[in-house]
């Protein structure tokens, strides 16, 4: 079964890929050095232009290969990448994140890049190749800036080496409890690669986009080097400092453990990511024993944090403030919340940064519209699990038999945690399924069945994802945008 976004390769059966390329040798040899649009090939394959002297070959069996003139490939890339075939002057290689980073021009619309402090959507990639076609079409049509490649590193994603060794610890997820790390079934490296390939296969020509290594756990310093190294292709880094905050202190001491940890992490990050990147500090998640009113960020506290970071030479583009709620709760859009948001937005604007609202899946349309109204569209907004919830709804609506495997596996996950999921009736909105259905994606047999959904399910899912994104754009008053810096 195919497991998208798991391997750091778009070529999982090199022998078969080599045979398919050999059958296409005459057509491949006729490809020009430079192309402007995709070219259909025999057997359902396609050639897509990447750069002068390089093409992406989308093979009919779903695999992808890099076709390039040998002279444009570095010796390091040739030695580190599997050679699939030689066809005349062309060399065919397996597609990896390193290969795409070397080959794709900086101006390629499908290459993630830093955008600066701009309004944008963060679109969690838990369903990867099932959602990306819809996501990239909406971003291209609406010209909205976004991070369409996004998941929590060390929580939803693990480095490929950890997944290969079967290393999956449990971690605390606010509003839910202990969950297995890597529960999306994707690797850090594989998610970036598959997201970029998704944009290339869609022939994306929309505005630039970013790739977010979300919720990097700064309270786990012994893990940070490996997590940063596996995330080096990403262009947006969200540093989660929630476990380092002194929540009981309302003053400057609140950030005593935060600033040194951020400074150390940024120094490490620069070794793995010397290119430009966007930086976010996430202070939106608090321990369950901390009351919401005590955890909520004030304008004064935000200013103190920024001052401390600036003294260390750290100038983040984004801050995700605590809004007094935890995952699963909605905002109360009364005068007090509006006043708090205006205060935070004023501090952010003066500092030249952008506020980022997390856990947007849990917010009602009225709350989203309140955020759009108060910020006038000058805000960032992240979603994640809702794309899995919409997939479940699409499968049930389309009567897709694959959903039964998902439901049964959820019952197993729930039972492990002392909860019960009835055999029927099947309801994607059942609270137990909503709580633990996401954990099934780390079970590869179930994940493989889910990714085998039929064409009718894909049509329904496409409509649901498009509707969600268009609603978010309207509610938040997001306008077509351009990055603040040219990468």
Q: What is the pLDDT of residues 70-80, one digit of tens each?
A: 888 898 888 88
- The pLDDT assigned to 2 comes to 74
- The pLDDT assigned to 181 comes to 87
- Write the CB contacts of 317 (distance below 8 Å, at least 6 apart in sequence): 116, 117, 278, 279, 280, 353, 354
Percent of the chain that is helix, strand, coil (3-state, to 5) = 45, 15, 40
Question: What value, to the nearest 5°, has the Cα angle with vertex 15 and ends 441 and 192?
Answer: 40
- Count of Cβ atoms closer than 10 Å to residue 166 Cβ: 7
Nearest to 125 by CA among 1, 49, 234: 234
Distance (Å, rounded) from C-alpha 329 to C-alpha 335? 18
Query: 421-425 — which CB contacts under 8 Å span 24+ positions?
Result: none
Radius of gyration, alpha carbons of the chain: 23
Comma-separated ranges of CATH 3.20.20.70 domains in the chain: 120-384
Strand order in the sheet with 211-217: 146-147, 120-123, 380-383, 354-357, 318-320, 278-282, 236-240, 211-217, 149-152
- Give mean pLDDT, residues 60-78: 92
- The pLDDT assigned to 276 comes to 96
> Each residue of 314-372: pLDDT tens digit?
999 999 999 999 888 899 878 999 999 999 999 999 999 999 999 999 899 999 999 99
Q: What confidence category does residue 487 fall into, taking pLDDT thresholds of 50, 70 and 90?
A: very low
- The pLDDT assigned to 176 comes to 64
Kindly tell me if the per-residue pLDDT of 445 is higher than 80. yes
> Each residue of 273-320: pLDDT tens digit?
999 999 999 999 999 899 999 999 999 999 999 999 999 999 999 999
Share the mean pLDDT of the chain.
94
Tokens describing residue 310: 């600036």
Q: What confidence category does residue 486 fall into, taking pLDDT thresholds of 50, 70 and 90?
A: very low
* pLDDT-wise least confident of 88-92, 247-251, 371-375, 444-448: 88-92
- The pLDDT assigned to 482 comes to 85
**φ and ψ at residue 25, rounded to 5 degrees:** -55, -45
> Each residue of 385-409: pLDDT tens digit?
999 999 999 999 999 999 999 999 9
Tokens describing residue 50: 């990447």
Distance (Å, rounded) from C-alpha 145 to C-alpha 18? 38
CATH placement of domain 120-384: 3.20.20.70
> Each residue of 139-160: pLDDT tens digit?
999 999 999 999 999 999 999 9
DSSP per residue over 357-370, as a string?
Answer: E--GGGS-HHHHHH
Nearest to 78 by CA among 50, 54, 99, 64: 99
Cis geometry, peptide bond prior to residue 425 (ω within 30 degrees of 0): yes
> Each residue of 162-181: pLDDT tens digit?
999 987 887 776 666 677 88
| Element housing 122 (H / E) | strand 120-123
- Count of Cβ atoms closer than 10 Å to residue 458 Cβ: 17
- Give mean pLDDT, residues 439-447: 90
Query: If 0-12 CB within 10 Å is exposed, 13-18 middle and 19+ buried, where does residue 430 land?
Result: middle
Kindly tell me if the per-residue pLDDT of 379 is higher than 60. yes
- Write the CB contacts of 456 (distance below 8 Å, at least 6 apart in sequence): 398, 400
**φ and ψ at residue 483, rounded to 5 degrees:** -65, 155
Name 355's bridge partners: 319
- Give mean pLDDT, residues 261-268: 98
Number of helices (H) and strands (E), helices first, in the chain? 18, 17
Sign of CA dihedral 52, 55, 56, 58: positive
3 state SS of 86: strand
| Element housing 157 (H / E) | none
Q: Which pTM value belongs to this model?
A: 0.96
- Give mean pLDDT, residues 30-34: 94
| Count of positions (residues) in the chain | 487
3 state SS of 3: coil
Distance (Å, rounded) from C-alpha 369 to C-alpha 333? 10
Tokens describing residue 92: 């065919």
């Amino acid at each position: 079964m195919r497991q998208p976004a798991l391997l750091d390769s778009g070529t999982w059966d090199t022998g078969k890929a080599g045979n398919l390329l050999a059958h296409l040798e005459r057509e491949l040899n006729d490809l020009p050095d430079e192309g402007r649009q995709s070219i259909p090939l025999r057997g359902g394959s396609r050639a897509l232009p990447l750069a002068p002297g390089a093409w992406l070959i989308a093979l009919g069996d779903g695999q992808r290969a890099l076709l390039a003139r040998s002279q444009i490939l570095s010796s390091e890339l040739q030695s580190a990448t599997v050679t699939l075939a030689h066809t005349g002057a062309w060399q065919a290689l397996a597609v990896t994140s390193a290969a795409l980073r070397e080959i794709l021009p900086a101006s390629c619309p499908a290459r993630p890049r830093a955008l600066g402090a701009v309004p944008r959507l963060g679109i969690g990639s838990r369903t990867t190749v099932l959602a990306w076609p819809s996501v990239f079409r909406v971003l291209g049509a609406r010209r909205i800036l976004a991070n369409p490649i996004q998941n929590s590193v060390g929580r939803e994603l693990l480095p490929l080496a950890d997944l290969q060794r079967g290393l999956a610890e449990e971690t605390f997820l606010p509003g839910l409890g202990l969950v297995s790390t890597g529960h999306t079934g994707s690797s850090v490296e594989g998610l970036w690669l598959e997201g970029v390939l998704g944009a290339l296969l869609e022939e994306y020509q929309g505005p630039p986009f970013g790739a977010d290594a979300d919720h990097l756990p700064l309270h786990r310093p012994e893990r940070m080097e490996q997590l940063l190294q596996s995330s080096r292709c990403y262009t947006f880094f969200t540093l989660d400092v929630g476990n380092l905050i002194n929540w009981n202190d309302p003053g400057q001491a609140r950030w005593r453990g935060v600033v040194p940890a951020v400074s150390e992490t940024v120094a490490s990050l620069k070794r793995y990511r010397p290119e430009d990147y966007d930086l976010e500090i996430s202070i939106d998640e608090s321990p369950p024993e901390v009351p919401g009113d005590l955890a909520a960020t004030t304008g004064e506290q935000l200013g103190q944090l920024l001052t401390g970071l600036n003294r260390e030479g750290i100038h983040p583009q984004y801050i995700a403030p605590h809004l007094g709620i935890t995952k699963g709760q909605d905002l109360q859009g009364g005068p007090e919340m509006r006043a708090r948001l205006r205060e935070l937005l004023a501090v952010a604007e003066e500092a030249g940064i952008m506020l980022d609202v997390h856990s947007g899946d849990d917010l009602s349309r009225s709350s989203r519209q309140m955020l759009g109204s108060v910020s006038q569209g000058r805000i960032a907004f992240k979603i994640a699990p809702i794309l899995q919830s919409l997939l479940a709804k699409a499968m049930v609506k389309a009567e897709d038999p694959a959903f039964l495997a998902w439901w049964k596996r959820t019952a197993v996950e729930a039972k492990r945690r002392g909860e019960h999921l009835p055999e029927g009736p099947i309801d994607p909105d059942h609270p137990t399924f909503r709580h633990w259905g996401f954990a099934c994606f780390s079970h590869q047999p179930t994940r493989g069945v889910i990714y085998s959904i039929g064409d009718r399910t894909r049509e329904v899912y496409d409509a649901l994802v498009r509707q969600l994104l268009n609603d978010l754009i309207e509610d938040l008053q997001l306008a077509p945008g351009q990055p603040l810096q040219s990468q």
